[in-house]
Structure 1
Amino acid sequence: MRQRLNLMVITVLAALTGCAVNLPQPDAAQLEPKEKAWQASAPSTARLAAQKEWWQSWQDPVLDGLLIAAQQANPTLEFAQARIREARAKAYSAKSYLWPTIGATAVGTRSQNELMSPNYITNNGSVGLDASWEIDLWGGIRAAEQGLVANMKAREVEWHDAQVSVAAEVANAYVALRAYQAMADIVAADLESRNRSLQLTQDKASVGLASPVDVALADASSADSVAQLAEMQEGVAISIKALVAVTGLSEAQVRAQISQGQRQLPQPLGFAVTSLPAEVITQRHDIRVEAEKVKVAAADVGIAKVARLPSLSLFGAISVGRQETSSVELSGNSWSFGPTVKLPIFNAGRLKSEEEAAQARFEQALAMYQQQVRFAVREVEQTMVKLDSSNQRVAATLRSVAGYQKQQDATNAMWKAGSANLLDLEISRRFLLTAQTKQISLQREQLALWISLYKAVGGEWPQNSVSH
Structure 2
Amino acid sequence: MSLRLMLSVSVLASLLSACAVNLPTPTSAQLDPKALQWQASLQNPLQSSAPLAERLAEQAQWWQAWNDPVLIQLQIAAQQENPTLQLAQARIREARAKAYSAKAYLWPTLTGSAAGTRSKNELAPPGAISKAGSLGLDASWEIDLWGGVRAAEQGLLANLAARETEWHDARASMAAEVANAYVTYRAYQTMGAIVAQDLASRDRSLALTQDKERVGLASPVDVALLDASSADAQAQLAEMHEGQALAVKALVALTGLEESEVRLQLAALDPATRIMPQAVGFTVASLPAEVIAQRPDVRGAAEQVKMAAADVGVAEVARLPSLSLFGAISIGRQQNDGVTVSGNSWSFGPTIKLPIFNAGRLKADQEAAQARYDQALAAYQQRVRLAVREVEENMVRLNSSAQRVAATQRAVAGYQKQLDSGEAMWQAGAASLLDLEVSRRFLLGTQTRLINLQREQLANWIALYKSVGGEWPLDETQLLANK
SS of residue in 1 equivalent to 2:176: helix
Which residue of the partner structure matches residue 102 of structure 2? Answer: 94
1:42 and 1:325 map into 2 onto residues whose CA distance is 94
What SS is found at the alignment partner of 1:260?
coil
**Structure 2 residue matching 1:23: 3-state secondary structure:** coil
1 CA distance for matches of 2:400 and 2:477? 36
Partner of 1:230: 238
Name the structure 2 match of 1:249.
257
Whether 1:124 aligns to 2:127 is: no
- Measured after TM superposition, the shift of residue 466 of structure 1 is 7.7
1:110-167 Cα deviation digits (max 9, x unpaired): 1122222232221110011111111111100000000000000100010011100110
Local SS of the residue matching 1:270: coil
* 1:330-354 Cα deviation digits (max 9, x unpaired): 0001111111111111111111110
Q: Partner of 2:105: helix, strand, or coil?
A: helix
Question: Residue 99 of structure 1: SS of its match in structure 2?
Answer: coil
The residue number in structure 2 matching 1:458 is 469
Q: Does 1:306 align with 2:317?
A: yes
Shift of 1:327: 1.5
Name which of 320, 325, 336 aligns with 2:331.
Answer: 320
Q: Does 1:265 align with 2:276?
A: yes
Q: Percent identity?
A: 68
The equivalent residue for 1:405 is 416
Q: Aligned to 1:357, which of 368, 376, 387? A: 368
Over residues 357-376 of structure 1, what are the superposed CA-to-partner deviations in whole Å (9 max), with x where a residue is unaligned? 10000000000000111111
Q: C-alpha distance in 2, partners of 1:346/1:10?
A: 27
Q: What's the CA shift for 1:6?
A: 2.1
Match of 2:405 in 1: 394
Residues 49 and 57, structure 1, Cα contact 8 Å, conserved in 2: no
Find the aligned partners of 2:8 and 2:98 in 1 and give their Cα distance: 35
Which residue number in structure 2 is paired with residue 283 of structure 1?
Answer: 294
Q: Look up the SS of the partner of 1:116 in the other structure.
A: coil
Per-residue deviation, 1:3:
2.3
1:140 equivalent to 2:161? Answer no
Paired amino acid for 1:39: Q
- How many Å apart are 1:53 and its aligned residue? 1.7
How far apart are the structure 2 equivalents of 1:114 and 1:360? 66
CA contact (8 A) 2:42 2:398 kept: no
Amino acid at match of 1:257: Q
Q: How does 1:25-424 map to 2 (within 5 A)?
A: 25-42=25-42, 44-46=45-47, 47-50=50-53, 51-261=59-269, 262-424=273-435
Q: Are the aligned partners of 1:48 and 1:272 in contact in 2 as well (CA < 8 Å)? A: no
Equivalent residues of 2:98, 2:156 under 8 A apart: yes
Structure 2 residue matching 1:114: 3-state secondary structure? coil
265-274 or 448-457, larger mean C-alpha shift: 265-274
Q: Report if aligned partners of 1:179, 1:441 keep a CA contact under 8 Å in 2.
A: yes
The AA in structure 2 aligned to 1:119 is G
- Work out the CA distance in 1 between the residues paired with 2:203 and 2:385: 56
Higher deviation after alignment, 115-124 or 303-312: 115-124
TM-score normalized with structure 2 length: 0.95
CA–CA distance in structure 2, aligned partners of residues 268 and 323 of structure 1 = 86
Q: What letter matches 1:372 in structure 2?
A: R
Q: Distance in 1 between matches of 2:200 and 2:247?
A: 25
The count of corresponding residues between Structure 1 and Structure 2 is 467
Are positions 1:5 and 2:5 aligned together? yes
- In the alignment, the residues of structure 1 paired with residue 277 and residue 365 of structure 2 have an alpha-carbon distance, to the nearest angstrom, of 56
Distance 2:393 2:220 in 1: 54
The farther-off stretch of 424-433 and 115-124 is: 115-124
Which AA in structure 2 matches 1:48?
P
Give unpaired runs (5+ residues) of structure 1: none
Supply the distance in 2 between the matched residues of 1:409 and 1:417 (Cα, whole angstroms): 13
Distance in 2 (alpha carbons) for counterparts of 1:340 and 1:404: 91
Q: Which aligned segments of 4 or more residues in structure 1 are displaced greater than 4 angstroms? A: none
Deviations 1:12-41 (A, max 9, x none): 232111000000000000001101001112
**In structure 2, what is the Cα distance between the partners aligned to 1:49 and 1:68?**
23
Residue 72 of structure 1 contacts residue 466 of structure 1 at CA under 8 Å; is this kept in 2?
A: no
> What is the SS of the residue equivalent to 2:62?
helix
CA distance in 2, matches of 1:155, 1:466: 25
Question: Which letter does structure 2 place at the counterpart of 1:365?
Answer: A
Residue-by-residue CA offset, 1:262-294 (whole Å, 9 max, x unaligned): 321011111111341001111111100000000
Secondary structure of the equivalent of 2:351? strand
Paired amino acid for 1:175: V
Residue pair 1:309, 1:343 contacting (<8 A) in 2 also: yes
Aligned position for 1:20: 20
Paired with 1:411 and 1:235, the residues of 2 have a C-alpha distance of: 31
CA distance in 2, matches of 1:178, 1:73: 25
Greater displacement, 112-121 / 452-461:
112-121
